[in-house]
Amino acid sequence: MKTTLLFVSVFLTVSLFGQNVNIPDANFKAYLVGNSAINTNNDTEIQVSEASSYDEIISVQAYNISDLTGIEAFTSITILWCVGNQLTSLDVSANTALTSLYCDDNQITNLDVSNNTALTRLYCGLNQLTSLDVSANTALTSLWFVGNQLTSLDVSANTALTSLYCEYNILTCLNVKNGYNSNFQYFHASDNPNLTCIEVDDVTYSTANWTVIDAQSSFSTDCNNDCSNTSGINELTTSKNLMQILDMMGRETTFQPNTTLIYVYDDGSTEKVFSMEY
């Protein structure tokens, strides 16, 4: 019996470490196999053990890659640079250690970064994005998504943000009221012909310091549109009762200031709430 158990244990260990990552795109695979820091045994495949232990940068700029399947095995990478390829989709949900993601100049139509809470830099310009939810990315300092097709953007939960570039979209509403507008070093929101109101902390400050906007755009502390947030619990209607508070991942939580929350009421309705504390 001991011999049998030992055999099974050895077999499982060999199977685990010998399992190869599925990498269907030939150009992506060629890069990975040719990188000796990743392909440590210098064979023609990338093993799961090699991928999961690699904790540096993957840089595949202009490699003519159309599919990044296999990137999910690299759970420890901190930087992904895949600018200038032919990607139409990108799944980074397993890459939770990412601090920087550069995926500009592709054809990406959807980007989910809700699992990437360590992100400080997100550059996703020159794609075909129609929406972008960064409410879970509270560590973000730089956001660049120039040249997409976004109609709305709410960065009120991104209290660490210092740089925002959102030119050349089709924004109709933009909420930058995060309580720390004075920390911004760069704010560019021009070439959004339908953007008339930008929600901010202080109108006077933004007017004086944020000049890269369109002529029809102006600043307000309450734009009263789809990007606006309820500013406090005292403003909740009394005709319905609060039953539950959820975070942006749908998990039950308690009231937290400076955090975007979802309030669930006894009539089945929900409301996004952001209460600001200085």
pLDDT tens digit sequence for 78-105: 999 999 999 999 999 999 999 999 999 9
Query: What pLDDT is attached to residue 272?
Result: 59
Half-sphere exposure of 143 (CA within 13 A, CB side): 26
Q: What is the mean pLDDT of residues 144-167?
A: 97
Q: Exposure of 58 by Cβ count < 10 A (0-12 exposed, 13-18 middle, 19+ buried)?
A: buried
pLDDT digits (tens, 9 = 90+) for 177-233: 999 999 999 999 999 999 999 999 999 999 999 999 999 999 999 999 989 874 433
152-154, strands of its sheet edge to edge: 152-154, 173-175, 197-199, 218-220
Query: What pLDDT is attached to residue 10?
Result: 41
Q: What is the mean pLDDT of residues 152-162?
A: 97
Q: How sure is the predictor about 249, in pLDDT bands with cuts at 50, 70 and 90?
A: low
Q: Exposure of 49 by Cβ count < 10 A (0-12 exposed, 13-18 middle, 19+ buried)?
A: middle
Q: How sure is the predictor about 253, in pLDDT bands with cuts at 50, 70 and 90?
A: confident
pLDDT digits (tens, 9 = 90+) for 94-133: 999 999 999 999 999 999 999 999 999 999 999 999 999 9
From its phi and psi, is residue 58 left (phi > 0), alpha (psi between -120 and 50) or beta? beta
Alpha helices in 19-167, H assignment, sequence order = 26-34, 48-53
Q: How far apart (Å, rounded) are the C-alpha atoms in residues 179 and 176?
A: 9
Sequence letter at residue 42 = N
